[in-house]
Each structure stands twice: as structure tokens, then as C-alpha cells.
Structure 1
Amino acid sequence: MIPVPGFEDQRVAILGLGRSGLSAARALREGGAIPVCWDDNPAARDKAEAEGFAVADLSKPHALDGMATLVVSPGIPHLFPAPNPVVAHAWAAGVPVDNDIGLFFRALANSGWEEFDMLPRVVAVTGSNGKSTTSALLHHILKSSGRESQLAGNIGRGVLDIDPPGDGGVVVLELSSYQTDLARALTPDVAVFTNLSPDHLDRHGGYGGYFAAKRRLFAEGGPDRAVIGVDEDPGCFLANQLSEGPTDDRVIRISSGQKPHGPGWQVVARKGFLTEWRKGRQLAAIDLRPVRGLPGAHNHQNACAAYAAARALTVAPRQIETAFHSFQGLPHRSERVAESGGVSYVNDSKATNVDSAAKALLAFRNIRWICGGLQKEGGLEGLRDGLANVTKAYVIGRDAAGFALQLPDTETEVCTDMATAVSRAMAEARPGDTVLLAPAAASFDQYDNFEQRGIDFATRVRAALGQS
């Protein structure tokens, strides 16, 4: 646990008692604060009370009187589409609003650090797609090279639940826009921006607000090094803003598909090869094609991001290459769940938007594509390039027929449910085909989350193959 100092004998309000809220309450109490907790869910309140925390309805008048700060869980809106009433009350009462990420950065350094030969470092990874894989891959690289590393934030443990890092230890954080938008302190040593595509737009008041939430990690965080994906305009803009000139190696530009150019520090992946460039010279190269845990151009971009962050932490290229080959990938992200009769079965349930699904479609050939669900804004136009690899689409979801109508040039079958889609795709698959779940839609019309959807797919495939 990372104790949170600075609130000794002061009352601190905690709104939302999920993983981040409860860990914040524990860390604040460990630091000497008096947490006062609230959640609309009675079961969550009961759990907090069982741990000895005071519980009080923070929405009532004057409930925030005397509070030193209000700590808000990431799922609770604090501005768009409308602020939670408790947050609005905090504004009116002059109570600062923060989240567990802000508390973490305030609390991380401790008095024992002066005894260390090498100070601990924090790497924070954000972006629309690939941040989980990038974070997990970087953590794997560090562990494989003998470095102390902890994975936390949106993946792994809650940020305040981790152990205080030791001499030269690294904390790798995956941070969502919900987390970076509100945190009052953001001071990573290395910050990574993978890419940007439309997502969570209602929560941020539009695309510009979404980018602004991501940008805070760099503009307000002031990292020593920034790793920036420059395959889209937002990344190019951000890299330009952070750089003082062409040779400024505080910015490492990464790309999947572009040729390296200029004297700056660059890590690029083209035609299956990752190369590192600095001052116009190639320093290292890695063949990514045999790396089974990182299939496709989108994962090659993730490899570039993790490679660049690891190099910023002085990990040698050959150590990184060795770690690439032992990386198994993450569940529900281009996860190979089975192979049989020359057919591969891949679970990419995390492809909840069009951009991530399009990248999955470009990673494979002869695809039997299971898609559909709760569709997000913008339609399916962004899938156009990847559809050339689709042999047939098997559409699930409550509005499966409407989804299928948006694929006029692709053979489709309206299946509605996963059981039917898996059965039909497996019956029609031929050697060389890939049965791919990459929904291009959220899961909430039929599942609690994308993980549950991916598990359903994998379970049905394995059962049909007699592997359950």
C-alpha cells in the first residue's frame, strides 16, 4: 500500500467504493486521514462499513462541510455530460476534487528514497487503443530484464494498492481519459501516448475534450521523456508541442507504417520489422513477424511504444527482443484461444470500437468475423480497409440486423447470439481461415462487459473442439 500523507486528522470524502475508491480510503486512513465514504450501491457501503470506514450520504446538504477534499472514482462523471451532484456540491463548497491517481502522484515519494542508488520511476501509458497491451508488455520487458516492476492503474492492481517501489523500481500505469482528466497531480517520469480515435465522447464533451483529457498527462505532467504515436494528427500535434526542435530526444516518436525521417529519436515498425533510429542512424532492429503474442500492425505499434519506453529506462535492445518472444499477450486482445484443422480462433473482444476492430481485421486473412453489439457513434465506415480480409461476417447483438445492413459489400449472416455465431462460423471455416471475434461495438446489450463476451466466445470454441 502507498499511504497518502498530508491529510492527518482531516476528514476526506470518498465517492464511489469500487476498486479505486476502497483502495483510496485504505491509503488515506494509513496516512492518518479520516475517510468518509459513500456509494449508491448498498452492498458497496456494507463492504466499507465492514472495514471500519464511516459511511455517510454525501449528496445531503452540508455533507461536505469540513471535508479536506473529495476523492471521486473514475466511473463517476465530474463535468460531462453533467457533473455528479456531489461533485457540484464540492465546487460550491470550495472542496477540492481529486481521484486516486492524483493521490498516488502526491504520495509516492518517501523519505527512504535518499538511500537508493537509483530513484524509482513511473511510466504512465494512455491513448485510445493499445494502452493495456503496451503497459503489460513494458512490465514484462522490465521483469524479464531483471528490473523490479509493478503494473497498476486501469490494469493490474489499484495504484494505491501497490507496494512502495524499491531501489530502481518501476511502476507502470495504464491510465484512461477518465483518470487523467481529473487527477490534480500527474508527474510521470516517462509518459506514453499510443493513438487517438473517437471514444467516450459524451464523457468529455466531444473529440476535443477527449484529446484534452489525454494531453493533460504531458502538458501538466512534464515527463522527462514522452513516447508519442504519430500515425494520426493528434499525436503529431502533441509531439510538436512537446519538442523544442528536430534533435530534441526528450520526445520519442513511434509509428507503425511510416518511414523514419529526420534526426530525432524514432522507433518504427514497417513490414514486420521494428527499428530504432537516433540522429539519422539505425541503432537496432527486431523481426516482429515470429512474435506470436503481438500479431498485426496495431500490435507492432504497441511493440514500438513499449520498446521506446524501455529504452528510455536504459533497457538494452537485445533484452527487449528476448522479452518480446516470451510475451503471451493479454486476454481478449488478439488472444489465440485455439487452433484446429488449420483454423485459428482469435478472441479480440476488447475491440469495442471501429478503430480497434479495423486493426484486428488488418492483422489476419480469410476471416470468419463475429461482430456486433451496442454500436458506438460514427458508423462503420472506418472498417472499410479491413473488410477485404473478411470472408463472411456473423453478426450478434440485439440490433444484429441493423448492424449487418451497414456491411452491404460483405457476406453477412444475422446470428443474434454468440452460440449461433460460433456454431455457424466453425461449421463453415476451412483450413487457413481465422474465426475472429472483433465486435466493433460495446458488449452491454448482451453482456456485463467485454471480458464476459470474450470468455463466452472462447468457452464455446473450446467446448466445440473438445478442449474444455
Structure 2
Amino acid sequence: MIPVQGLAGTRVAVLGLGRSGLVAARALAAGGAVPLCWDDNPAAREKAEGEGFACVDLKRAGFEGIARLIVSPGIPHLYPDPNPVVAAALEAGVPVDNDIGLFFQSFATRDWDGFDISPRVVAVTGSNGKSTTSALIHHILEQVGRPCQLAGNIGRGVLDLDPAIDGEVVVLELSSYQTDLARSLTPDVAVFTNLSPDHLDRHHGLGGYFAAKRRLFAEGGPDRAVIGVDEAEGRFLAGQLTEGPTDDRVIRISVAQKLTGPGWQVFARKGFLSEYRKGKQVGSIDLRGVAGLPGAHNHQNACAAYAACRTLGLAPKVIEAAFHSFGGLPHRSQTIAEKDGVRFVNDSKATNVDSAAKALAAFSNIRWICGGLEKEGGLGGLAGATGGVRKAYVIGREAAGFAMQLDVEAEVCGDMATAVARAVAEAEAGDVVLLAPAAASFDQYDSFERRGDDFAAQVAKQLG
């Protein structure tokens, strides 16, 4: 655990007692603060009280004598409307923060004075690929024997990490919900994978969404910034951070173009990753045989992870070897079965149109299982992305309406069991049965993980 520094002897309110909130309360107490907790869920309050924390209805108690309010990521603080507790704190002039802010203000300690190599933080954000990129960086570090931990929006809560040891690297995946509110954001290396429309209601549009991501770079001034430049926002961000074409503190990455110039670039084209510095190629990796990173979208993840690891001093050949032992993440282009020449791939994490389009681009002869809770913006972004689809099998409560928007043959199946059964019945050798929903899961499942697990279970049932 990372004890919170700077709040000893103060009362700190904690709103939301899920994974991050309860850990924040523990870390605050470990640092000498007095947490006052609240969650509208009685079961969550009961669990906190079982650990000895006081639970107080913050809507009624007010904020007199409160030093700070710590808010869990799922609770809105501005758009579409601030939570009443957050609004009350702001009205009272009480600073609002989250566990990410507490982590960055508390991670460094006096113990570091005795280290030979100071610990470092690599923080990854973006619309798509941040989980795979974070896990891949962590995997590479593990393979070379570098002490490391993985946390944030993946794995453990940030304050649940162990205190750093000499030379350790902490890899954090950070969502826009987390970067938007954190009062302290000071990573050593910050990574921006890409940007596509998502969470627009929470951020009041694409501009607010990008602004939340941008805070990771603008607030803390990382030593190195790895920036995906295949969208206008990434190019703008790279331009804001750089002092000029030769400034190698900014590493531009791409899977859409060859990057040239005197700076530092990493790009992938036709399955080959290339690193250029000062106009000369200094590294190259053939990604075509890396089973855990299929498709252009995963090649972008590989470029981002490669660049981040190069800033940490790792050699290209070492990184390449680690790529080949990376198994991928569950629910992200994950091959779960193969039988009679048919491959079954679980990409339940493709919860928006852009990520689904990237999943579709990675395969051909696709039996596509899609549908769910449609996100703002519709399905127009799939135009031109379905050339490899033989047929779509649509699930979700609004499956008929979803199917009508597709430009391929589509069968309304409604539920996962029916969709998998129909896809298996019609699949031929060389086909890929791909779950890439292009929609949220919450109309039928409580998470994309549950949706992916159901897909895997139905595939296992059909294959016997």
C-alpha cells in the first residue's frame, strides 16, 4: 500500500467505496488522515464499516472541517451534471481529487534518497489500446528482470501498489475519468495511443474528452511523451509539447504513415515496426509472426510499448524477444478456440465503433457477432470497415435497429447463445468467428468481461 502523504491529521471525505474508493480510504488512514466514507450502496458501506471506517451521509453532513473530497472514477464531477456531494464540496471550497492524484503526491518517499536508480512511472492513456499497451510494457519489463508493477484502470488500484524499490517501474493505465480529476499528474513517461469519440456525455463532447486526456501531459510535464499522431488531436498534442523538429523528448508513433524528420519516431507499416532517430533507422521488428499482437491496431500498441521501453533504456532485440512471449489480454483480440479450420476470437473490449473497426481490419472471412447498447454517434464509423465480413449476427435488446444500420448481411439473433450457434452452423474452414460488439454491454451484461466470458462459454458448448 502507498500511504497518503500530506494529509495527516485531517479529515478527508471519500465518495464511492468500490475498488479504488475503499483502497483510498485505507491509504489515507495509513498516512494518518481520518477518512469519512460514503456510498449509496448499503453493502459497500457495510464492508467499509467492517474495516472500521466511519460512514457519513455526505449529502447531509456538509463539508465543514473537511480537507479534501476523494471521488471514485464512475461518479460525475462536472458533466452531464455533478454529483450532489461533489457540487456541495465545490460550493464549500473543498478541493476535489481522486486516487490518482493521491498516488502522485505520495509515491516518492525519503527512502528514494538511498536508491541507485530512482523509480519511474509510465502512464498510458488514449481511447483504444491503452490496456494492451500497458500490459505489454509491463510484460517486457518482467521479461528483462526489471522490477515493475501494473495498476490503474487495469489490475490493482494505484494506492494498493507496494512502495517502490530501487530501480522499479510502475506502469499505469489511466482512463479519461481518472486523468480529468487528478490534482497531481507527474509521470516520467506519458503515452497517448489514439483518440476516437467515447464517453462524450461525461466530458460534454469530443473537445472535453480530449482535454481530459491532454491533462496527463500538460499538468505534469513528463520527461518523455510517446504520442500517436494518426489523428489530428495527437498531432496537435505532439506539436504543443515539442520545442522543434529535433526535440527527442516527444516520440511520435504511427501505423498510418512512414514518419520522417530529425526527431524520434516509431512506426509500423505492412507488419514491420521501424524506429528512426535523427533521420536514421536504429531498430526494426517483424511483427507479422507475433501471435499476441494481431492486426494494425495491435501494431500501434506495439509501437507505443516499444517507444516507452526504449525511453527506459531497453534494447530493440530485448523488446522483440518479449513481444513473442506476450499472450495478449483477455477479451482483446483473444483467440479462444480453433476447430476444423475455424478460429474463434473474443474482442469483447471493442465497445465502440472505432475499436470494432480495428478488430475487423485484423481478420478476413469474418462471421461477426456484434450489437449491444449503442453509443452516441451511431455506427457511421463502421463504413468501409466491413469488407472482410461474410455475415453479421446481431445481439442486444435493440438488435433489429442495430442490424438495419449495417452494410453487410445481418441476422437478428438477440442473445449470445443464438448468435454463436448460428455462426458455428454456417462457418467454413478459413472463417473467423469474431466477437467485436461495437457497443457497450450494459443492456444484457454488467461488464464487457461478462459478455466475453459468455461468448467463450457458448463457443465451448457448441464445439463440445
TM range (shorter): over 0.9
Mapped contact 1:404–1:414 kept (Cα < 8 A) = yes
- Residue 383 of structure 1 and its aligned partner are, at CA, apart by 1.1
In structure 2, how many angstroms separate the alpha carbons of the residues matched to 1:171 and 1:268? 25
The match for 2:67 is: 68
In the alignment, which of 409, 416, 419 is matched to residue 417 of structure 2?
Answer: 419
Mapped contact 1:186–1:221 kept (Cα < 8 A) = yes
In structure 2, how many angstroms separate the alpha carbons of the residues matched to 1:8 and 1:376? 43
The 3-state SS of whatever aligns with 1:160 is helix
Q: How far does the alpha carbon of each residue in 1:114-161 deviate from its partner, in whole angstroms, 9 at most, with x for none?
A: 110000000000000000000000000001011011000000110000
The yes-or-no answer on 1:463 pairing with 2:458 is no
The match for 2:401 is: 402
Give the letter for the 1:412 counterpart.
Answer: A
- Residue 257 of structure 1 and its aligned partner are, at CA, apart by 2.5
- Residue 260 of structure 1 and its aligned partner are, at CA, apart by 1.9
The match for 2:282 is: 283
In structure 1, how many angstroms separate the alpha carbons of the residues matched to 2:286 and 2:294? 12
The match for 2:10 is: 10
The 3-state SS of whatever aligns with 2:274 is strand
The 3-state SS of whatever aligns with 2:160 is coil
Give the letter for the 1:465 counterpart.
Answer: L
In structure 2, how many angstroms separate the alpha carbons of the residues matched to 1:337 and 1:13? 44
The match for 2:96 is: 97
The 3-state SS of whatever aligns with 1:398 is coil
The yes-or-no answer on 1:28 pairing with 2:28 is yes
The 3-state SS of whatever aligns with 1:263 is coil
What value does the CA root-mean-square deviation take over the aligned residues? 0.7
The yes-or-no answer on 1:238 pairing with 2:234 is no
- Report the TM-score, using the length of structure 2 for normalisation: 0.99
The match for 2:427 is: 429
- Residue 64 of structure 1 and its aligned partner are, at CA, apart by 1.5
In structure 2, how many angstroms separate the alpha carbons of the residues matched to 1:369 and 1:65? 55
- Residue 63 of structure 1 and its aligned partner are, at CA, apart by 2.6
The match for 1:257 is: 256
Give the letter for the 2:218 counterpart.
Answer: A
In the alignment, which of 438, 441, 444 is matched to residue 440 of structure 1?
Answer: 438
The yes-or-no answer on 1:88 pairing with 2:82 is no
- Residue 463 of structure 1 and its aligned partner are, at CA, apart by 2.1
Query: For structure 1, which runs of at least 5 residues remain unmatched after alignment?
Result: none
In structure 1, how many angstroms separate the alpha carbons of the residues matched to 2:101 and 2:224? 20
Give the letter for the 2:190 counterpart.
Answer: A
The match for 1:294 is: 293
In structure 2, how many angstroms separate the alpha carbons of the residues matched to 1:92 and 1:349? 41
The match for 1:153 is: 152
The 3-state SS of whatever aligns with 1:388 is coil
The 3-state SS of whatever aligns with 2:159 is coil
In structure 2, how many angstroms separate the alpha carbons of the residues matched to 1:14 and 1:379? 36
Mapped contact 1:362–1:385 kept (Cα < 8 A) = no
Give the letter for the 1:401 counterpart.
Answer: A
- Report the TM-score, using the length of structure 1 for normalisation: 0.98
In structure 2, how many angstroms separate the alpha carbons of the residues matched to 1:136 and 1:374? 27
The match for 2:49 is: 49
- Residue 7 of structure 1 and its aligned partner are, at CA, apart by 1.4
Structure 1, 376-385 or 87-96: larger mean CA deviation: 376-385
In structure 2, how many angstroms separate the alpha carbons of the residues matched to 1:430 and 1:58? 59
Give the letter for the 1:417 counterpart.
Answer: D
The match for 1:212 is: 211
Give the letter for the 1:45 counterpart.
Answer: R
In structure 1, how many angstroms separate the alpha carbons of the residues matched to 2:16 and 2:378? 33
The match for 1:330 is: 329
- Residue 304 of structure 1 and its aligned partner are, at CA, apart by 0.2
Mapped contact 1:257–1:271 kept (Cα < 8 A) = no
Mapped contact 1:59–1:86 kept (Cα < 8 A) = yes
Q: Which of structure 1's runs of 4+ aligned residues deviate more than 3 A?
A: none
In structure 2, how many angstroms separate the alpha carbons of the residues matched to 1:2 and 1:127? 26
The 3-state SS of whatever aligns with 2:43 is helix
Query: For structure 2, which runs of at least 5 residues remain unmatched after alignment?
Result: none
Q: How far does the alpha carbon of each residue in 1:362-389 deviate from its partner, in whole angstroms, 9 at most, with x for none?
A: 0000000000010011121211222110
In structure 1, how many angstroms separate the alpha carbons of the residues matched to 2:362 and 2:2? 40
In structure 1, how many angstroms separate the alpha carbons of the residues matched to 2:396 and 2:28? 43
In structure 1, how many angstroms separate the alpha carbons of the residues matched to 2:51 and 2:5? 20
In structure 2, how many angstroms separate the alpha carbons of the residues matched to 1:271 and 1:141? 23
Q: How far does the alpha carbon of each residue in 1:402-421 deviate from its partner, in whole angstroms, 9 at most, with x for none?
A: 011111x3111110110000
